[in-house]
Structure 1
Amino acid sequence: MISATFGGLLFGYDTGVVNGALPFMAKRDQLNLTPTTEGLVTSSLLAGAAIGALPGGKLQDRYGRRKMILNLSLLFLIATLGTTFAPNVSVMVTFRFLLGLAVGGASSMVPSFLAEMAPAENRGRMVAQNEIMITGGQLLAYVFNAILGVTMGDTGHVWRYMLFICAIPAFMLFIGMLKVPESPRWLASKGKKEEALSVLKQIRDEKRAIAEFKEIEESVKRDADLEKATIKDFSTPWLRRILLISIGISVVNQITGVNSIMYYGTQILEQAGFGTKTALIANIANGLISVLAVIFGIWMIGKVNRRPMLIIGLSGTTTSLLLIAIFSMVLKGSPALPYLVLSLTVLFLAFMQGCIGPVTWLVAAEIFPQRLRGLGNGISVFFLWAVNFVIGFSFPILLSTIGLSATFFAFVVIGLLGIAFVYKFMPETNGFTLEELEEQFRSKYDKGNMKKSFSKAQ
């Protein structure tokens, strides 16, 4: 099952590698990027991810988790080679879009596969490990960017080596998934009961495999009696409201500006005063704190309520951006500025990855009723990637036109709106079973008495 988490590693590396590759791509004798084409190169992957995330649930339900992840590994490999050898911006954007389809698919398929394969007591750890692999992939991208940028920075096409490295985990994902069996739950849902039991006996002891198989059979029978989930189900007022809350939380995750730092951290540090090579090395700190903060957040989320954790995280990220904006304006040209900006981006990511990230994905997974969980989650993730695309495209344009300080002041204003949204609309979900949550939403949401309905966990 560890093989499947290479999908998360690829997710992280592909979204992080552009951070260090862009300054070299932009050179006149390479792709000669403008701020607009920089935004296109970065955001084309995000557009692909938004589109790739939507059909992920249906495709894996139809063809199987393992088979679809195998197909994704091949798409990762082909698209990586396409970006590596891209002769111009058009080809680069095309293959970055294809890479995004793979990233979006992986973001929905890999967690499902891990959750269905892992034993109950290890499910949380296995799914959380995928989140660590995503941030670990970004950290690896920053490390390799720094090594290659420092040692080969005078070679114009060094960015091609940065991109090519991603072919290695793509190949490892393909080889690993060839040896991994299909999800027993998917096999049982397709009537392949003998195969499902056989797989369970491979990954569990026999007594436990038989007991778990009986549970899966009962679950499949229950699901067969349910009508297929469609978008029309969200016309019901209480379901429509929780969909809008989930979309809102997903949007709030992105309007923090997190991916302006994850994708353009090197350029931010360059504008603050570092040289390119120094910025590449300094950017490793952003990757390292992301990994450590995710580990801390996963530990913390079982001990703290979701709503205050999200508000604390948003307050921390907004304050960090406000300080970056102020210092960039007051200390412009000062040798201390790049070090202050680096410290504040690290602080920003500590709040983002330690508080906001874990809560966003968890709430999206638990807020919907069982029958609509996959569809509702897919819609929310689509909006997350869509906002990610807008920020990824517009950030370098804003940076070149209004500057670092004004750009981050804009994110501060949006961040305050995000805090207001969470404070006013987000219910507390900690302390309830999934069934209790569904009943609370169903019976109380349309009565305007949210505070009373969700007082148990506060």
Structure 2
Amino acid sequence: MASTSNARGRSLTNFIALIAATGGLLFGYDTGIISAALLQLTPQFRLTTESAEIVTSAVILGALIGCISAAPLSDKLGRRRTIIAAATLFLIGTVIVTYADSVIVLTLARLILGLAIGASSQIVPIYIAEIAPPERRGSLVVAFQFAIAFGQLVSFVTGYLLQDYSWRLMFGLGVIPAVILFIGMLFLPNSPRWLAMQGEFEQARDVLRRVRHSDEAADRELKEITDQHDEKAPLSEVFKPWVRPATIASVGIALLCQLTGVNAVMYYAPTIFADAGFGQSSALLTSVAIGVAMVGTVTFGGWAVDAWGRRTLMLRFIPGAVISLVILGFMFFAGATHGTGAFITAAAIVGYTIFNVGSLSVAIWLVGAEVYPLSCRGTGMSLVAASHWGADLIISLTTLSMVRALGAGGTFWLFAAVNALSFFFVLRYVPETKGRSLEQLEASLRNGTFAPVDRKNAAATAE
């Protein structure tokens, strides 16, 4: 009987993570498809460098607004209902962008899609983290990042296959996962921790008993939740001294995830490579290779975050991203992007994708969803998402201009320096969260043992 219950709970947890992570698939597809669509949109709408950056960045601005707005909604209405609202926005935005007949309508539609993407990035990782058992939380939350990477790969393949067809079809295909997300979420349970925060302890117990291996395990977990149960805290809580280490770690990863250049590569790789003489078809194929690398490395990361640990994974992978970008910058600086040089250039950019996505991009939503106390988890994750999208907005608005001013080689070297900085940030500020319950992480914040380097003990030792 216990074995049957365990299998049932595991299957339900997997299904919940799968449906919720469809929001990540939409996230990846709608942010990635613009890279191929721009090659058609630019001549049709006579886009300049600046207007291309605006169309691309509209989704990022929307995401910034959406993730901030989602925090109070997710705390008031619940994680599940907020995801349903995001799915509705995905549907509306996809229909409008498919039939857009001007730059203004196109930009507005991308803004609506951004609202949905931002809300998803804020709430889906929290929803999964609050339902998943501690020993599987890493892999299940990384399913969201896997869905993002898979969505980007699908968008790159779609862009390549449809390069001789209308960009409208490229955008319109996004309606399929939006419908799956909307319908699927109608049948999923609320987060047990959100229910507990509302005082609905019996409902929280019922959900936990459905997704844990035994009733006893569910009851123990509910007791941990209720022992640390607090009312919803205001925004200022995440800046208080006891929560500040979590804010520094999570927001730092969120900022560095973008400032290290991963989305600059994703959004503009076809344009940069086409300008370097690769040709449109070859440039699009390079994006497909990037997408395959993303899916492969996130799949590995989904295993590594629970086997190695979040912090260990980042510290092992980030140096590879630095080396890859240094090589990539040299190839563009030397103009060696043809013949044999083209293969070295492509290998370097795929290598960068593997090491950067496999570290910071794998960790961002996972660490953000697990380090904050329950009372301010929604607010904290909103801050994480806002930092991510704010940095992404800056990168998407400036990448083509940086390439024009510094050259592709100089731009990639700049990103290499930021990647090196991220290594030392993780080393100093990001703790290992592998295998620890959300309540244990909260306790470490309260007793001052959260940060990997104990400042008080370090100061005492130095004296």
Cα gap change, 1:350 to 1:403, in 2 (>3 Å) = same
Residues 79 and 187 (structure 1), Cα distance of their counterparts in 2 relative to 1, 3 Å cut: same
What is the aligned partner in structure 1 of residue 393 from structure 2? 389
Name the structure 2 match of 1:352: 356
Secondary structure in structure 1 of the residue aligned to 2:448: helix
Question: 1:251 Cα deviation (Å)?
Answer: 1.5
Contact persistence 2:131–2:211 (CA under 8 A): no
State the partner residue of 1:129. Answer: 143
- Residue equivalent to 1:160: 168
Give 2:254's aligned residue. Answer: 250
| 1:388, distance to aligned residue in structure 2 (A) | 0.8
**Quick one: distance in 2 between partners of 1:317 and 1:242?**
25
Q: Aligned residue pairs: how many?
A: 440
The 1:308/1:175 distance shift into structure 2, 3 A limit, reads: closer
- Aligned positions of 1:367-382 closer than 5 A: 367-382=371-386
Partner of 1:325: 329
Question: Which of 293, 299, 303 is residue 299 of structure 1 equivalent to?
Answer: 303
Counterparts of 1:56-455 in structure 2 under 5 Å?
A: 56-118=70-132, 122-149=136-163, 153=164, 155=165, 158-187=166-195, 189-190=197-198, 203=210, 208=214, 211=216, 214-215=219-220, 218=223, 221-222=226-227, 226-237=230-241, 239-304=243-308, 306-307=310-311, 309-332=313-336, 334-423=338-427, 425-429=428-432, 433-434=440-441, 435-436=443-444, 438-441=446-449, 447=456, 449=458
Q: Which moved more, 1:248-257 or 1:115-124?
A: 115-124
Pick aligned residue for 2:49 from 35, 45, 53: 35
Aligned partner of 2:8 in structure 1 is none
* DSSP 3-state at the match of 2:186: helix
- Conserved? CA contact 1:328–1:337, under 8 Å: no
- How big is the shift at 1:398? 2.3
Structure 2 Cα separation of the partners of residues 197 and 302 of structure 1 = 26
RMSD: 3.1
Map Cα deviations across residues 128-157 of structure 1 (whole Å, 9 max, x no partner): 3222111111111111111111xxx2x5xx
TM-score, length-normalised on structure 2?
0.84
Q: Evaluate the alpha carbon distance shift between residue 247 and residue 122 of structure 1 in structure 2; reply closer, same or farther with a 3 A threshold.
A: closer
* Runs of at least 5 residues in structure 2 that lack an aligned partner in the other structure: 1-15
CA distance in 2 between counterparts of 1:232 and 1:200 reads 30
Partner of 2:12: none
Aligned to 2:31: 15
Judging changes above 3 Å, is the alpha-carbon distance between structure 1 residues 349 and 227 closer, same or farther for their aligned structure 2 residues? same
Q: Would you say the 8 A contact 2:75–2:378 is kept in 1?
A: no
**Distance change in 2, residues 1:6/1:273 (3 Å):** same
Q: Which residue of 1 aligns with 2:41?
A: 25
CA 1:66–1:428 in structure 2 vs 1: closer, same or farther (change >3 Å)? closer
- Return the TM-score normalized by structure 1: 0.85
- Could you tell me how far 1:194 is from its partner in structure 2? 6.5
Question: What do residues 218-237 of structure 1 show as CA deviations (whole Å, max 9, x unaligned)?
Answer: 4664455x243223335544
Structure 2 counterpart of 1:301, which letter?
Answer: V
Shift of 1:427: 4.7
* Secondary structure class of the residue paired with 1:55: helix
SS at match of 1:179: coil
> Does the 8 Å contact 1:65/1:186 carry over to 2?
yes
Q: What letter corresponds to residue 396 of structure 1 in structure 2?
A: L
> How far apart are residue 20 of structure 1 and its match?
1.0
State the shift of 1:274 in Å: 1.6
Moved over 6 A (4+): 450-453
